[in-house]
Amino acid sequence: MPKKTTGQSYKELSRQLDEVMAKLQDPETAIDDATNYFEQAMELIKQLEKQLEEAENKVREIKTQFTGE
Amino acid sequence: MNGEQVVLSVSDFVALVNQTFEYAFNSIVITGELANFRISKNKWVYFDLKDEFASVRFFGTVYALPGPLEDGMLLEVRGSPRLHPQFGFSVTVQSMRPAGEGSIKKAANLLEAKLRQEGLFDDARKRMLPYPPATVGLVTSKESAAYADFVKILNQRWGGIGIQLIDVQVQGESAPEQIVRAIEQFNQSAIQPEVLVVIRGGGSADDLQAFSTEQVTRAVAASRIPTLVAIGHEVDVSLAELAADVRASTPSNAAEMLVPDRKDVLRALQLQAAELANITERVLRDHRESLVAMFEMSTKLTDDNLQNARRNLDHKKNLADILSPEAPLHRGYAIVRDTSGKIVSSGRKLQTGAIVNMQFIDTNAEAEIKRIKLRKDS
């Protein structure tokens, strides 16, 4: 499995996830490959979640700076 | 008796009479009704003064005229009697003025009508006064209450205005000439005041007469410096006032019209300052409100974006869970692999006694194939 480097944009990671998901949904996909794709999907989801959380935290931080809440 | 009588030539007689007149009546004042008034060549004036019983001829120049005259008016004429070598007896006029209330009024009306006709009182001629002026040229009597009132009120209201006074007599025979000279002096000075103010306090019609004379009225009208004139009380209107750019009812009123009251100006400034502060506050408040709105909007957009991304990701995660190859194992399925680890998707490839590996959701188990039976439909 190609290890995705960090620094890829959310959009790019999201596009890759869509691709992997499409293969995962394909009934022609062999179960061994499916396991691979599933692992890739999980890895991508993990990265996406990490980025999303970072974004959420950053927004929260900015808001605090401006409202003092 | 006849032998002692001196016999004179006509010329000598005329000379003797004139010498006698000069000695006896150098300057006399005669009053009477005007008759046969006429002006010749715009320069020479001929008329008679008469009463019930007598009539005397007069001769003078237009410069001695107090204004327009009409037959029938009562006049006071100062002059010297003279016997002319050819034209006989007449009184040479030195000065003259209307006498008696009716005549004075009539003369004043005639003068006013004449000057009005010339346009001296036209509204179109009126100029604005600088407000407030930096310098004032003042024509009045230094001893008068009018002067004191004017200066006092001017300084009370504004202050710091340069007042230049030319002290003049405001009544009496020499008043008109002095006033005219003062007005001309201001107009000819190198640094002219911004406004010319001519004032005099109240008095009888006779006292105020100087300000209704033709020469003073013309001088006011001719002034290149804008004029403010206030003569007497409210009810009195002199011709000089009519000719002025601005007329005030009294000297005090003149000061009030000339400058604003600093108290009013300060109050107005304070009001303006307060108004400015209000406007500024309102503008700032508006900006703050729109900033807050923009902040809220951008916050909401960002939140929405993040929420959408989160929902989207959660959805995919759920989908991935469902598509997980292990999901069927939960439902009781098992994956069968041969000893080399390859998935056995068909039993036909197996033989009795072969060893296979079975992967369950929680365990792996090794099994030996005992029997192989084809399914009816395959």
CB contacts under 8 A, B 296-315 vs A, are: 299, 302-303, 306, 309-310, 312-313
Q: Model pTM greater than 0.80?
A: no
- Closest-CA residue of B relative to A63 is B299
| CB burial string A17-43: b at 16+ within 10 A, e below | beebbebbeeeebeeeebbbbbebbbb
CB contacts under 8 A, A 40-59 vs B, are: 41-42, 45, 48-49, 52, 55-56, 59
Asked whether the beta carbons of residue A52 and residue B302 sit closer than 8 angstroms, the reply is no
For residue B341, the 8-state DSSP code is S
CA atoms within 13 A on the CB side of B17: 16
Considering only CB atoms, which chain B residues are within 8 Å of A25? 319, 323
Give A12 to chain B, closest Cα distance, Å. 13
- Choose the closest CB to A35 out of B302, B303, B325: B325
Q: What is the pLDDT of residue B3?
A: 58
B258 contacts B133 by C-beta, under 8 angstroms: yes
User: What does pLDDT average to in each consecutive run of 10 residues of chain B (378 residues)?
Assistant: 77 93 89 91 92 91 86 90 91 88 78 92 91 92 92 89 92 91 95 94 84 93 95 82 93 91 90 93 92 88 91 90 84 88 84 91 91 78
Q: What is the pLDDT of residue A69?
A: 54
Put simply, whether A1 touches B (Cβ < 8 Å) is: no
Considering only CB atoms, which chain A residues are within 8 Å of B295? 66
Alpha-carbon B71 to chain mean position: 48
- Choose the closest CB to A24 out of B306, B310, B323: B323
Q: Is the dihedral of CA B281, B287, B293, B295 positive or negative?
A: negative
Q: What is the pLDDT of residue A6?
A: 57
- Choose the closest CB to A42 out of B309, B320, B335: B320
Q: Is the dihedral of CA A11, A17, A23, A25 positive or negative?
A: negative
Q: What is the pLDDT of residue B158?
A: 87
The pair of three-digit structure tokens given for residue B376, joined into one six-digit string = 């009816």
Put simply, whether B142 touches A (Cβ < 8 Å) is: no
- Choose the closest CB to B302 out of A24, A31, A59: A59
Other Cβ atoms closer than 10 A to B69: 21
Structure-token match 């150098």, residue found: B26
Asked whether the beta carbons of residue A41 and residue B320 sit closer than 8 angstroms, the reply is yes
Considering only CB atoms, which chain B residues are within 8 Å of A29? none
- Choose the closest CB to B295 out of A18, A35, A66: A66
* pLDDT tens, chain A, 69 aa long: 444 455 788 899 999 999 999 998 888 888 778 888 989 999 999 999 999 999 889 888 888 887 765
- Nearest by Cα to B367 from A52, B77, B359: B359
| CB burial string B274-293: b at 16+ within 10 A, e below | eeeeeeeeeeeeeeeeeeee
Considering only CB atoms, which chain A residues are within 8 Å of B325? 31, 34-35, 38
Element (H, E) at A21: helix A10-25
Give me the residues paired with residue B30 across strands: B77
- Choose the closest CB to A49 out of B295, B313, B319: B313
Put simply, whether B257 touches A (Cβ < 8 Å) is: no
Considering only CB atoms, which chain B residues are within 8 Å of A10? 309
In angstroms, the Cα distances linking B71 to B36, B91, B309 are 7, 18, 114
Own/partner pairs, A43-46, CB within 8 angstroms, 24+ separation: A43/A1, A43/A4, A44/A4, A44/A13, A44/A16, A44/A17, A44/A20, A45/A17, A45/B313, A45/B316, A45/B317, A45/B320
Considering only CB atoms, which chain B residues are within 8 Å of A26? none
CB contacts under 8 A, B 80-99 vs A, are: none
Alpha-carbon B365 to chain mean position: 110
> How many interface pairs between A and B have CB atoms less than 8 angstroms apart?
48
Torsion of CA B109, B111, B117, B123, to 10 degrees: -80
Give me the residues paired with residue A4 across strands: none
